[in-house]
Structure 1
Amino acid sequence: MMRIILSLVALLGLVLPTQAGADPADINAAARGVVRVVIIGSDGSKVFPVSHGTGFAVTPTRIVTNAHVVDDAATNSTLRIGVVPSEGNDSSFARLVAISPRNDLALIEIVGDLRLPSLTISGDTDRDSGEVSAVGYPMNVDRAQGLDLNDILNSQPPVKSRGFLSGARPSRQFDTILHTASIARGNSGGPLLDGCGRVLGVNSFGAESGGSDAEFFFAVSTKELLPFLKANDVSARVNALPCRSLADLDEAERERLEAEQTAARTEMAARAEEQRSKRARVQLEAELAVQEERENAMAIAAVLFLLAAGCGAFAWSARSSSAEYEYDEDGDADGDENYSSARSGAEPKVIIGGTLAVLALVGGLAAWFTRPGLDAIDRRVNAEMAEGNGEEDDPAMTGSASGTGAMVCTLELDRSRITGTPNQTVEFAWGEDGCVNQRTQYGFKGGTWSRLFVPNEEDAVSVNRYDPDSKTFRTDRYLLSRSAMAKARAARGQYSPPKCGSDGAAGKLGDMQGAVTALLPENPNERLVYSCEVKGS
């Protein structure tokens, strides 16, 4: 019986879809925007931390946390709010923008130069299962490391813990999510993330376990968070698409390519069979036509030869009749009058008959020697098969079909891994030399056109690729840590991209970009695939 049960379980595992596990790269990328929120006091001569919680960026300068994390600062003007990022030494003060004790949410804004990567909020408000991650700064970990309150003012990476959603469980005051990703004091205000690093909720409190029961924790759901942000004029990044792993995406892409190749082979086989059928039909028609033309030419030649013979016989007969008159011994012809009359009447007949005989003979010879030979069959078949297939009519030879000119590209959701809120369309003008919009040169290496972007205002490296043959535009985005971005920016600063139209620009840039791509992780955090077509088509 146990074997039967195990077999059924294994079968269900094959049949039922599984939820993709959290991608560490996506959780790490989201953790870049998670900060320690510190309540700071002062005794007049020095400042000191009073308590701390966690928060996360929803814009480069605005941070969400729990109301109970900043409640003391909201009610005590002598206390200030500090923000300590996970990397770097640019801690900053923040001001309270809004606080909502009803659903334990608060919004603070950085007042210094610190800028943070914004987290994306999941738009799937009805999800109640799957793996999740909690990110924050639990106090028990600080104590275990021997950190005191002064140490928490220094940048440190947040703690990540995994668990599972246990279903929606509205509390008496607000909508919450129940989960098992461990949190403790200090985690309050930190994000609860799905497998793609998108915010599912704001960690708020835990259930008392009594020392023996399983521990459960509560996060303020996005049903509360999104209206709170909207009420405070925050345009957060929201993504309601399913979370897909790159492995799933690559497998789907392989299946798509195989299907396309199978369809192409089937189409080629059908076209080849069609060509064979057409050639057989054209061959038969050409053979019949050439045979008919040969027979007609030979018949015409025979008729002309007979005509030439008849005309020749007529001319010879006329000439012979004029020669029947004999001369006398004295040199005079017998019957002078009859002779002259006969001779004058025969000469035109000889001329006409001879001329017609020559013309008919020449025409007959021409008809005979110009009759189509058997090699005319092949020439006619080749000409018929080539008709309509000239290179000038081949769409593959036109600029639009080869992916050049002004292009408009549409995001293909089923081929993309989207963790943020990308543009739905992209427009650009592509030149045969890899020049975009007549000003941005793309590099060419390994059969691929690409351009790498390392912005100073965002901690992300983007690699854009375009395939003119398939008219596919792709962007791979790598969400890097500050230290990794510093290295990427340094490598990028070592070269200046060649200008469009300069000698060997594409090949040179393809080699230059290798210094940056060598620093990137194996897989991107986000892959956006666009299908392009000629603008206005």
Structure 2
Amino acid sequence: MQKSWKRMLRVGMSGVLAIAMLAGSTGLAAAQAVQTIHFTGYFDKQLRAQMAVTADSFPVVNVRLVKQDEPDMVYYDVGTSILISKDEVLTNYHVVQSFAELSDGDEGTLTVASPGSLSKPVKAKIIKTDPVTDMALLKLDKEIDAQPVAFANARDNQVVYTIGFPKNPAGDLVILDEDFPSTFNTIAKSRVFSSQALDVPGKKGIGSIVKSMAQGNSGGPVLDQNNRVIGMMTFVYGGRTYYITSKTLQTFIKESTTPAKKQVAVAGKVSN
């Protein structure tokens, strides 16, 4: 999960190389979505339906790149994101890093799609990033028809759920693109190991859960039993999955929307 999963498809050969994917349509009908979402852990019928609908608030983020020195190759990165408003999502910086750091001459597109509308990806642009804490805020070209999330604080040992877009059970790679608009969604049940993890050198504002997640889950949520976001998955270390705490996420969002102070010149000096 440290890096979003990458797959290379040769231009003109993508139809031959592509593997058919399972589709998730959570925005259309919960009953249908339950059949296309992979659940790990125990979920009763009612909870499965509820989580299937909830999954629409955690869209797929897709990066498509063509590098100047490899014009015959297309690179795909796929990750997960958290819908914080109708047209804004949070994800990990490493999910969009290759797009954010495009070299001159390289081409790339950044799109986001709700699991209920995978065939209609929305173009996005990066508003703010924080590589140190591994966060990125994206602005969408148009609104997504899903419910933005609410945040809550975590506590040790509480039951939590994670949502992401990893490899599916057959081992196929997840791709989201105009030619391959399907994906496979996984919802897992876990618990908080530490709501304020201090065991990773140089890392602050993180917590951990007891299960490791697959590549593609990066940027996905850790939810409490009321479907509130207590954190965003970011990396795996020592057999545990670590998440950025909701407090850290909310501070990042608040700072992103706060207008910068204008500089004022006073007696030959510049002050804020």
TM bucket normalised to smaller: 0.5 to 0.7
Decide which of 79, 101, 106 is 1:53's aligned counterpart. 79
1-structure distance, mates of 2:101, 2:64: 13
Change (3 A) 1:152 1:230: farther
Q: Is the 8 A contact 1:206 1:217 kept in 2?
A: yes
Decide which of 247, 250, 254 is 1:226's aligned counterpart. 250
TM-score, length of structure 1 as denominator length: 0.35
2-structure distance, mates of 1:142, 1:111: 33
Q: Is the 8 A contact 2:65 2:99 kept in 1?
A: no
**RMSD between aligned residues:** 2.9
Query: CA deviation digits over 1:60-115, x for unaligned, max 9?
Result: 11001001111111111632211122012211110001101121111101114544
Residue 49 of structure 1, CA deviation: 4.6
Q: Aligned pair 1:186/2:210, yes or no?
A: no
Q: Aligned pair 1:158/2:185, yes or no?
A: yes
Equivalent residue, structure 1, for 2:94: 68
Residue 142 of structure 1, CA deviation: 7.2
Equivalent residue, structure 2, for 1:81: 110
Equivalent residue, structure 1, for 2:163: 135
Q: Is the 8 A contact 2:165 2:174 kept in 1?
A: no
TM-score, length of structure 2 as denominator length: 0.66
The one-letter amino acid of 1:189's match is G
Decide which of 103, 112, 120 is 2:133's aligned counterpart. 103
Q: Is the 8 A contact 1:169 1:176 kept in 2?
A: yes
Where structure 2 has 5 or more consecutive residues not aligned to the other structure, the ranges are 1-43, 259-272
Q: Is the 8 A contact 1:128 1:166 kept in 2?
A: yes
Q: Which has the higher contact order (CA 8 A, sep 6+)?
A: 2
2-structure distance, mates of 1:104, 1:156: 24
Change (3 A) 1:205 1:157: same
1-structure distance, mates of 2:160, 2:77: 27
Query: CA deviation digits over 1:456-481, x for unaligned, max 9?
Result: xxxxxxxxxxxxxxxxxxxxxxxxxx
Number of residues of Structure 1 aligned to a counterpart in Structure 2: 205
Residue 149 of structure 1, CA deviation: 6.7
Which moved further from structure 2: 167-176 or 22-31? 22-31
2-structure distance, mates of 1:158, 1:110: 21
2-structure distance, mates of 1:193, 1:154: 26
- 1:292-331 paired onto structure 2 within 5 Å: none
Where structure 1 has 5 or more consecutive residues not aligned to the other structure, the ranges are 1-20, 209-214, 235-537
Larger radius of gyration: 1
Query: CA deviation digits over 1:427-473, x for unaligned, max 9?
Result: xxxxxxxxxxxxxxxxxxxxxxxxxxxxxxxxxxxxxxxxxxxxxxx
The one-letter amino acid of 1:51's match is D
Equivalent residue, structure 2, for 1:363: none
Q: Is the 8 A contact 1:27 1:196 kept in 2?
A: no
* Structure having the larger proportion of residues in helix: 1
User: % of aligned pairs identical?
Assistant: 21
The one-letter amino acid of 1:34's match is F
The one-letter amino acid of 1:118's match is P
Q: Which secondary structure state, in structure 2, belongs to the residue aligned with residue 79 of structure 1?
A: strand
